[in-house]
Structure formats: structure tokens, C-alpha cells
Structure 1
């Protein structure tokens, strides 16, 4: 019997987390005043399901919480209890208490805690404090209706699979692909009808292998909506604790992202939202004086862009003061002429370590402190981040993240006998390198593209691979911190999806290398980290006048497809 109960718990616990998330989201929506009756029904259905499921696995404390919450929600539906912020806060406390109980169950500490009893008592007291009008037929009918819906919803089940198992499946699919490629090379030597039939069969196996790879990749993806909505409660509670009013607006469409990206970016997103509330959103009286809604708005917007996810975290708060940032840069001696910097260049200094301290946080609306840690976290998952701000109107952080860390779409390039992969999300165009753009054997140079100087880096020299470059080199034009730059290589070998392999200890700290992959012929290729590769190298490109345009312009015009 104990074994049967353990199996039931393994099914119940993930569902309990999902139900509590749904209740919390609905309670936060109640405070907006929109569709109150429908939202209350959603809360009741979810609470009823939680109570029934908890009772079926013998979790009496969780069931008691659900029953007490049901009474409150029923009173709200019938009008016996007014819908106020304290009532919503009490129901949110019920969610917190229920989460604690679920966590205790997961740790094997069943029924040890009694902290939930205080919340149950407060819920019962709140219910008795309302008008004692008897329940009318309409309310009874409504309760029976939503109970029936809850019973139907309780039958929905889901299966959770550990990410490690999906990773292993992806690795095995990669090995299958390499094995297929080896067999195909051998089959090319087989002549006649037998060889043709075998090759046709291998093509069918290749199709099935690709479908399996897509299925595993899809299983790793999670919608960003539920992830974002977890922060609605954080924003509400943190704003209230700082004497502010703030709401979170989530816009995500149907965007989904690899669960590994979610886990590795979660802390950074929490930090950015806290900054927006604590140092971006003004107090209600200050907002009213500025002609703003006393309740500030923080928007989380996600969209597909260039093979990844573009995430924008925007607030309508005080924004950054360019004048104060310039003064801070000058005082720290970080740039000789900060007034001449563009907004992008100036705001980028906020990410420098030690740029701001807690005592001086007002200079940058509090966004300098810890932002270097955020940038490192974003960079660790092959992402980029930049700041856009307008004083008095708010600040936006624009973050580009990959959809998955398991595989990438990459452009394979050759440098001598070595092969490298450039993430396709960073690639803008490819063209021939104009003659005269580089000194022979030089690492950096310039070429003209669309009438503008494009700084370039020759990877052969940067990686010290040795040997002379070929007569005709190629340029891969990439996006770097809002600008364009060129990576000079020997050859372009084509694009495709590759499985990312972790780096060994020998390469883990090599700048500009983020991972490795196995190519179709079984050879190993390093995956380039474009932003880390170019950071610090292309800070001060030479002026366009330094280029001999009589030599560079015709070649650039003829070779650039972009």
C-alpha cells in the first residue's frame, strides 16, 4: 500500500505545483478588477481540484487549506464578502502555505509542519467576518457548476521527464547521425542496383533520424508565458514592500525556449525586475506629480528574432540621466571624452565592474550595481544585452537569447586545416575580402560596406594558426553589440544544425570559444563566441579615410550580398 501511495505522490506533486501557480496568477488578476466573476470561478475550480487531490493522497493539511480557501472564494462569488486587497493577500498567503507543505512532502517531511494551521484559522476568521447572509440558490448552483468543471479538469495528467534524459537522447541522436554519415560514405562505393537501393534506404533512415531529433528538441522547449507569470507575484509584493505600486504585463505570443536557458537565466531576470522596481519605478506621489499613472508598469516582452528569442524588459519609471552618467564616467576616469559617446556606448559602461556603488545608485537609477554579473550570466548562455533609456520615460533592457543550448544553427568555416562554427543567429551576410583591406599577416583591418567602414578581424592571425592566408579570403559579417564587424576566414563550408558538446577543462577558459561539435565527417569543430571574440578588439576602429577606397570599394561592392 505504501508503494501505491508513493506512486500517487509522484503524480500529485508536479500537478500541485502547477495548480498553485494557476491559483496565484488568477489571484493577481483579481486585483486588476477585470472579469472578476470568471476569475473567481477559475480560482475555485483550481482550489477544489487541489483539495480533492490532496485528500486522495492523505495530505490533510493541504486539504484543510483548500477547504478554508473554498469558503472564502464562495463568499466572494455570492457577494457575502467584499473583494479587497487584504482578502487577496490572505489567499496569496494560503498559496505560500500550500507550497511549503508540498515542498515538505517532496523532502519526505509529511505532516511535520503546523504553520499552515494559522493560515487556516485566519481564513476561517475572515469568512466569519463577512455578512452572515444565507447562501442563495444562485450561489449554490454556481458552486455545483464549478465543482463539476473541477472534477473534469482533475483528470488531466502530464508526464515530467528529467532534462538529463533528454540531453542523453540528443547525444545518442548525434551519434546516430555520425554513424549514418560513415555508412553513406561507404555506400557510395557500392555500384549497381544494390547500392542504389541501400542508399535510398539510408535516406529514409536519415529522414526518421531528423524527425526524432526534432521531437526531442521540442520536448525540451517550454513556453515562456508561465515562466514570466511567476514574476507577477514578485513584482506585486516587492513594490508594496518599497511603498510603490507596480504591475507586470506579459507579452509573449507562442514563444518557447529550452528549459536549460530558463534555468540559467532565471536569477538574472529576477535581479533585473528587482532593479526596475526598487530604482526605476517612482513612488506614487512622484508619478502623479509627473503626470503618470500612480501604478507603474513593467513589461516583459518576448518574440522570435534571428533564430533566437528577443526579450525586452521595460519599465515606465524615471529612466537614466545621461548627464549624471557622464559625470560618473568622468569622475572614475573610464573615458577621456564621455560627452562624445553615443547613448549605446555610454549605457554600455553600466555593465563595467564597480561602475556604481549602493551609495551612488541614484546616479544611474540603481542599475549599475550588479549589472556586470547580469552581463556575465547572459554571456554564459550565448546571449547579449543592451540598455535603452530616456530620462523621465523609463528604461528598457533588450536581451537576445538562444532558443536552445543543446543545438545551434551554425555556419561552418575553414581556416587552414581547422574548422569552426559561427552561430547563425549572429551572421548577417558573407562576402569576399577586398584586396588591400589587411596588411599581409595582419590581425585587424577595415573594408568598405555600403559606404561605411567595417572593422574586421582575421581569425587565422588571432588564433595564431600560422601559414599564409589563401589568395581569396572570405568575410563573415556578424552583429556585435548593436554594430557590425567582419570575421575573415579562408572558406565557407555551409550552414546546418549542430549538436553542442561541452568543452573540456583544456578549452574552458579560452576566450572566444563557447563549445564544440562533431561535423558530418566525424571531425571536431570549435563553436565561436562572437561577442567574447570581438570584445576589446574592435573598440577603436580606424577612420574610413584610412582605407584606400580605390582598391576596397569595387571589391566590396561586387562581393557583398547584403
Structure 2
């Protein structure tokens, strides 16, 4: 069993237990006679998922079992077979057979038994309307516990923990840290040997607290490889349904990401893959005529970058047409001069609600909703997305994501008496503000870094804070919109790990603020969303030649930086 399959199984096995539990509960609900059709549809969807997932990891016996059960359930949904107690009992035995196959896989005995084949035969006979088993043989829907069950329970080496419980653990660790800081401030005033001994003990407690924090952080992380490879089946099925041929290539290394990021990005990634097939990959005949492989390639590439995750989704399809997008922008009144926009600026307009260049809609695409959903979902987890494309050569999307939604590495900065945290993944460098860069009471200016002019914005003015800046100011150089910009602050407090606290209702819609945190001294600091904060602000301070230079560089690189 190769390492890739091992990773897939590590993701598949916990999920298959949940699927089987769901099917069993629903089958038992059937016997109550309430909402039978809706319950059957739920069972059908779960069984279909079981069959597809088992096939994707090479468990043929489990997939065949799911396929046979799916046929019976489909007939029950359509009224072709009567829903009887013996039929429910047969499906419950199917769940038991599936559990035995899963238990074999967990023990490393992959599908050695053949007992499930007898269940498949009975399912096939039932689907044909053959004689059902006698009532006495299938009278009970609950099976007695066996020695195999006890053995399986004793061999459990992992459990699934809800993200909410992990979030609560992270919150408690934050509270412990704050309590520890308060005690340390008190102990600084204790003199003599007793004070020294207590401070030494608190340092040991601090070490243990940090280890606990790292352990909780590690528990939230999952490898992205198995998650991304689950989309291989999605791409295959979508391509087949749309008359295309496509393969998915996954490149991920050893990248891990917070499980909350995975769950909240799942739907967005499905949208992007659907768009790649429906709007990107051409029909086999068209690809042959263009000298391409009839089977298109979609690549998912994940890598660590700037303290976060860079996820690139690219295809070798038809690419995006500037002319069609500009025409649609003019028709919608989205911009007075779309032809004057850079590729990045023009392509970004496809994220607007209702935007679509499709001539007709279908069950797969063309309703203008997908990309708007994608952007909002990515921004909800403090991520960004950029599109680059070359007509005739394909499209590439770059999604920048945080490693975790619970803890980030941040740079604490000060403006007057206020403190703010800038995510470290957005920080490029820090330096002193050159004299004359920004007027004493001004908000914006230009500074020279490595021979290039960079726009800079005084954070005090951007956030509407009062007071005057100090004589000596600092600049935090941040990555923004494929380029760099400077945030002018009063002082730099230093970097460290920051536990993110959710925002209250009053702050959730404040632009440029993505969360809050409690600093070591017990004060509250807001976490800045750099892209939201600077979006639309810098255009007035970027020189025209710099814009032309960026436009040329973006076009030459296909729109998305490597």
C-alpha cells in the first residue's frame, strides 16, 4: 500500500464510519413510517457517497456493496419495490457487511473475506423482485454485539473531535496565558528568594502553556493531499456530464492546514473546478484542432508561502477572453472604460454578483452565482483570490489562505495608545519612515525602497484616529494586490503568536478589521485585514508609470505572480 493511498485511507476511514452510522440511523427511522420518501432519499445520497469514496481509494468490494444497495434504494424511492420490514432488515445487514469490510481495512487485511458477496447477491435478487427472506429471519433491525465488535473498539487509535471543542480549548489556553501574565506582573514586586522561586515556577508553567497551545494547534491541522485528491472523482464526473475529458493533477508536498479552513473552502473549490470544466476545458474535438491533448489537465498546487497556504488552481483550457469580459462589463455598466483596465483588474470583475459571459445557463454553470460565492467564502476566512489568464492557453487562480483560523503569527504595532496586529504572512519588511515621505499631517505618500517607488499610507489617518504622529515613525511593508505598499505606524511592538477572538456584531462589517485578540498585558487589539484595508485607497498615490509597469508585468506573467 503506497503512501498516497495511506493518506487517502486516513481521511476516508473516519468519514466512512460517519456515513454508515447515518445510513443505519435513517434505516431505523424508516420503520417508524414518518417521511419515508425523504428518508430514502437521504439514505440514497449517503450510499452514493459511500460507493464513490470507496472506489476512489480502491476498495472494490465496499464499492460493489454500495452499488448493489444503491440500486435497491433507487427502486424503493421510485416505488418499483415495496418498503417492507424484510427489505429494511436486508439493508441493515448491508451496513453490517460494510462495517466488517472497513474493520478489515483498519486491521490491514484489505477485503480478504467474501461474506459481503452473499449480501450483494441477496440485494441483486431483491432488486429483481425475487423472493424475499422469511419474516422470521429478518425480524430484528438491531444486531447483537459480537467479539469482533469488542476487538474493534479496543483497537481504536483515534477519535474525531469537533472544531468547536478545539476552539474552546484554544480560548481556554488564551485565558491561561492572560492569567499567567497578571501573576507575573504581581511577582515582579515580590523580593527575596521567595519571589525568585515563584518566578522560576511561573516560567515553567509558561513553557507548559506554550506546549499545550502548540498541541491544540497541531490537532487542528490536516494534510491537504487527501482532501485535494478527493476532487479527482469530482473532476471526472463533471467532465463526463459536460462532454469533456479532464484529469486532475495534485501537487501538495507535506502541506497541512487548519481543518476549519478545509471545511469552509470545500464548496468554493468545487465551484472553481466546475468553472474550469464548463468554461475552460474545451471539447475533445476543439482541443485536437488546436493541437492539444483531447484530455484537459487541471492542476491543484498547494505550498507554504508567507506564513500561510498558497493554493493554485490552473487549467490548460481556452483561457479567458478580454473582449467578451469587457463587453459584458460595458453591458452591465460595471466600469466606464473596461479596455483600460489591467488583466487583473478586468478579470476581478467576474467576482461581481450576477456576472457571467455564458450564453445560456444549465445545471452546471452559467447563472453568474458561482464566482461571487467563491470570493465571499474565501474572504470569510481571511483569504484572497487572484485570476490570471491567457486566451487559448488556460486560466490560473491563486488563493492565499491562512494556516489556521484560530491562531496566527502577527506583528503588533502601536498608534498612539492603540495597538493593532498585522498578520505576519502579509508582512514583507519593516523600516524607519524616510523623512519627507509623508507630510506631518498627511495621509499618503511615496517612499523609495530598493530603487522603486512604493505607495505608503499613514495607518493613523486610514483608521480615523486622532492625535499627531511622533517625530520618528516606522513603516511596515506589506504585500498587497500583487505588489507592495507601506503602512506607517508609530512604533513596532514585535511579533508573536496571536489567538484570534471573534468580533462582536458591531465590528463584523467594519472594513479592514478581521478579528481581535488579547495582548499579554490584557489589552484588546484589533487584527487588520490588509487587503480590505488598502483596497481602493492606494490608486491616488501610485504613479502612472508604476501602474504601467505593473500592467506590463502582469500581462507578461499571465496575471498571477508565481
The TM-score, its normalising length taken from structure 2, stands at 0.72
| 1:358 to partner: Cα distance | 4.0
Query: 329-338 vs 222-231, which deviates more?
Result: 329-338
CA distance, structure 1, for counterparts of residue 16 and residue 375 of structure 2: 38
CA distance, structure 1, for counterparts of residue 523 and residue 482 of structure 2: 33
C-alpha distance 540-26 of structure 1, shift in aligned 2 (>3 A):
farther
* Gapped regions of structure 1 (runs ≥ 5): 1-9, 30-38, 52-57, 72-93, 95-115, 126-150, 547-562
CA distance, structure 2, for counterparts of residue 441 and residue 372 of structure 1: 39
CA distance, structure 1, for counterparts of residue 121 and residue 453 of structure 2: 69
Equivalent pair of 1:275/1:367 in contact (CA under 8 Å): no
| 1:357 to partner: Cα distance | 5.1
Counterpart of 2:239 in structure 1 is: 239
Equivalent pair of 1:358/1:369 in contact (CA under 8 Å): no
Equivalent pair of 2:238/2:274 in contact (CA under 8 Å): yes
| 1:220 to partner: Cα distance | 1.1
Matched, 1:413 2:413: yes
1:344 match: secondary structure:
helix
Counterpart of 2:184 in structure 1 is: 184
CA distance, structure 1, for counterparts of residue 219 and residue 278 of structure 2: 37
C-alpha distance 214-22 of structure 1, shift in aligned 2 (>3 A):
farther
The TM-score, its normalising length taken from structure 1, stands at 0.72
2:229 match: secondary structure:
helix
| 1:224 to partner: Cα distance | 1.5
Equivalent pair of 2:51/2:62 in contact (CA under 8 Å): no
> Which of the numbers 44, 55, 76 marks the counterpart of 1:27?
55
CA distance, structure 2, for counterparts of residue 119 and residue 313 of structure 1: 45
Counterpart of 1:456 in structure 2 is: 456
Counterpart of 1:43 in structure 2 is: 60
Counterpart of 2:34 in structure 1 is: none
Counterpart of 1:137 in structure 2 is: none
Matched, 1:492 2:492: yes
Report 1:282-321 matches (<5 A). Answer: 282-321=282-321
Q: Where in structure 1 do 4 or more consecutive aligned residues deviate above 6 Å?
A: 17-23, 45-51, 65-68, 116-119, 122-125, 151-154, 365-368
C-alpha distance 244-16 of structure 1, shift in aligned 2 (>3 A):
same
Equivalent pair of 1:236/1:245 in contact (CA under 8 Å): yes
Equivalent pair of 1:275/1:366 in contact (CA under 8 Å): no
Counterpart of 1:121 in structure 2 is: 124
Deviations 1:155-187 (A, max 9, x none): 555311121111111111000011111111111
| 1:440 to partner: Cα distance | 2.9
* Total equivalences in the alignment: 451
* Gapped regions of structure 2 (runs ≥ 5): 1-13, 23-45, 69-87, 102-115, 129-150, 547-562
Counterpart of 1:224 in structure 2 is: 224
Equivalent pair of 1:309/1:403 in contact (CA under 8 Å): yes
| 1:323 to partner: Cα distance | 3.6
C-alpha distance 306-47 of structure 1, shift in aligned 2 (>3 A):
farther
2:230 match: secondary structure:
helix
Deviations 1:429-455 (A, max 9, x none): 111112222233222221122222211
| 1:240 to partner: Cα distance | 1.1
1:356 match: secondary structure:
coil
1:465 match: secondary structure:
coil
CA distance, structure 2, for counterparts of residue 237 and residue 188 of structure 1: 65
| 1:382 to partner: Cα distance | 0.6
Tell me the C-alpha RMSD between the 2 structures.
3.8
1:387 match: secondary structure:
strand
Equivalent pair of 2:344/2:386 in contact (CA under 8 Å): yes
